[in-house]
A and B are shown apart, each in its own frame.
Chain A
Amino acid sequence: GAGVSQTPSNKVTEKGKYVELRCDPISGHTALYWYRQSLGQGPEFLIYFQGTGAADDSGLPNDRFFAVRPEGSVSTLKIQRTERGDSAVYLCASSLRGVDTQYFGPGTRLTVL
């Protein structure tokens, strides 16, 4: 079956702009995660959804970052007033229930000029 998909694959924006990154998890997976990965680093946890609700958003760096999953499937990560420091690869992962193996999407490379 299809894996985790993310769109767009690349996003270039200007400082101060608003961006939305989309994640389509594996069908039937109830848990969805967002991570941010900078060059030479491991993925850094941002937020975890179980179904429609954000079960843990402790990794969001500040209130410019927000994520939703209104129907318990597709999720959107929203970043307001982007800053150059937000440039990174944003990874999405899903798992069947939550406490099991996470499968990653290809990521969205965000560049803020």
Chain B
Amino acid sequence: GQNIDQPTEMTATEGAIVQINCTYQTSGFNGLFWYQQHAGEAPTFLSYNVLDGLEEKGRFSSFLSRSKGYSYLLLKELQMKDSASYLCAVWGATNKLIFGTGTLLAVQP
């Protein structure tokens, strides 16, 4: 079967750093995506990892370990506008993304 796990909710403080974890078990692996989704809006692309290691893009970084079936999204210098749901999605053996349920991040002043 295919399974993607991520925490349901997280809370963090403005200006701090937060790490959102994602573990996956899928049939095949062709890459892992992170999307941000504000309430009532479409998911927007944040990052794509296909090789092991850390990809940094401004305040956001994403890490992948294929051997462990594990990824995390790191958000630095948190801002109030970062309050959103963060979706982990895996590209498996077929041409479709399998999404986790999302992690709802609340950034508090």
What's the least CB distance linking B32 to chain A, in Å? 12
What's the least CB distance linking A94 to chain B, in Å? 12
Tell whether, in the assembled complex, residue B99 and residue A48 are in contact, meaning their CB atoms are under 8 Å apart: no
Contact (A104, B30) CB under 8 Å given A31-B95, A56-B96: no
Tell whether, in the assembled complex, residue B87 and residue A99 are in contact, meaning their CB atoms are under 8 Å apart: no
Specify which of B33, B41, B95 is in contact with A98 (CB 8 Å cutoff). B95
Chain A residue, CB-CB nearest to B102: A42
A45 within 8 A of B: yes
Residues of A at under 8 Å CB distance from B?
4, 31, 33, 35, 40-45, 48, 50, 55-56, 59, 91, 98-99, 101-107
Residues of B at under 8 Å CB distance from A?
4, 30, 33, 35, 41-45, 48, 87, 89, 91, 94-102
Q: Which residues of A contact B102 (CB under 8 A)?
A: 40-42
Q: Which residues of A contact B91 (CB under 8 A)?
A: 99
Chain A residue, CB-CB nearest to B89: A42
Chain A residue, CB-CB nearest to B35: A104
Q: How far is the CA of A31 from the CA of B96 in the complex (A)?
A: 11
Q: Which residues of A contact B44 (CB under 8 A)?
A: 104
Tell whether, in the assembled complex, residue B42 and residue A107 are in contact, meaning their CB atoms are under 8 Å apart: yes
Chain A residue, CB-CB nearest to B87: A42
Tell whether, in the assembled complex, residue B98 and residue A45 are in contact, meaning their CB atoms are under 8 Å apart: yes
What's the least CB distance linking A44 to chain B, in Å? 7
